[in-house]
Chain A
Amino acid sequence: GQQVMQIPQYQHVQEGEDFTTYCNSSTTLSNIQWYKQRPGGHPVFLIQLVKSGEVKKQKRLTFQFGEAKKNSSLHITATQTTDVGTYFCAAGGGADGLTFGKGTHLIIQP
């Protein structure tokens, strides 16, 4: 099955700094999804990327899917305390379920 590696595992930033997490696969992915999990909460869907080289934006969040469809990134501009949580990339979906990366824990210092 598909496997995805995610880095870094932890990221400490000062409030207002930018944040980026990266997701990599050794195989070509049909799609990549991103989820956010607040501490003590459940994963919440952010976005799905399907096309090679795709870039999508949601306010301060920018999502990219690599040209070879083997990597993806999530970039947050000017972090806020509400951005705290763990960000997961996940491959697959539909009938077979998702394969999740281990996530990047975002810790923000005021």
Chain B
Amino acid sequence: NAGVTQTPKFRILKIGQSMTLQCAQDMNHNYMYWYRQDPGMGLKLIYYSVGAGITDKGEVPNGYNVSRSTTEDFPLRLELAAPSQTSVYFCASSYQTGGTYEQYFGPGTRLTVT
């Protein structure tokens, strides 16, 4: 299994540009999440999904959109990029087993908006 994969690894955007961060998992997990991590800080939840066709907002959803057309893929769309969106973006997936919700994280996408 590849686990959770993310592309691209790095990206520089100009203010006002748009882009899609790709995330895929091959573990057949129902739950998927997008987090952002600012330098030296913890992770904040942007959006999450409990299954194909179902998405919901997390703590910091403004400026982002998601879709979940398949169990495997959970892309994150940035519209009209702003410097405040400079961050590292992590995608994660999980499933429940015996009451444990261990989350598996992808390697991250490092985004700079200038």
Residues of A within 8 A of B (CB): 1, 6, 31, 33, 41-45, 48, 50, 88, 90, 93-103, 105
Which of B41, B48, B108 touches A95 (beta carbons < 8 Å)? B48
Count how many pairs of residues, one from A and one from B, have CB atoms less than 8 Å apart in the complex: 59
CA distance A96 to B48 in the complex (A): 7
| Closest Cβ neighbor of B32 among chain A residues | A97
| Chain A residues positioned under 8 Å from B101 (CB to CB) | 31, 33, 48, 93-94
Which of A45, A48, A97, A102 touches B45 (beta carbons < 8 Å)? A97
Interface residues contributed by chain B, number (CB under 8 Å): 26
Which 6 A-B pairs have CB atoms at the shortest separation, nearest pair first? A93-B101, A100-B42, A42-B105, A97-B45, A102-B42, A94-B101
Contact, CB under 8 Å: A94 / B105: no
Residue from A6, A94, A99, A102 whose CB has the most chain B CB atoms within 10 Å = A94
| Chain A residues positioned under 8 Å from B106 (CB to CB) | 42
Residues of B within 8 A of A (CB): 31, 33, 35, 40-45, 48, 50, 58-59, 90, 94, 96, 99-108
Which of A6, A93, A99 touches B94 (beta carbons < 8 Å)? A93
State the Cβ distance, A29 to closest chain B Cβ, in Å: 13
Contact, CB under 8 Å: A99 / B41: no
| Chain A residues positioned under 8 Å from B48 (CB to CB) | 95-97
State the Cβ distance, A91 to closest chain B Cβ, in Å: 11
Contact, CB under 8 Å: B43 / A100: yes
CA distance A95 to B55 in the complex (A): 10
Which of A44, A95, A97, A99 touches B105 (beta carbons < 8 Å)? A44
| Closest Cβ neighbor of B94 among chain A residues | A93
| Closest Cβ neighbor of A89 among chain B residues | B42
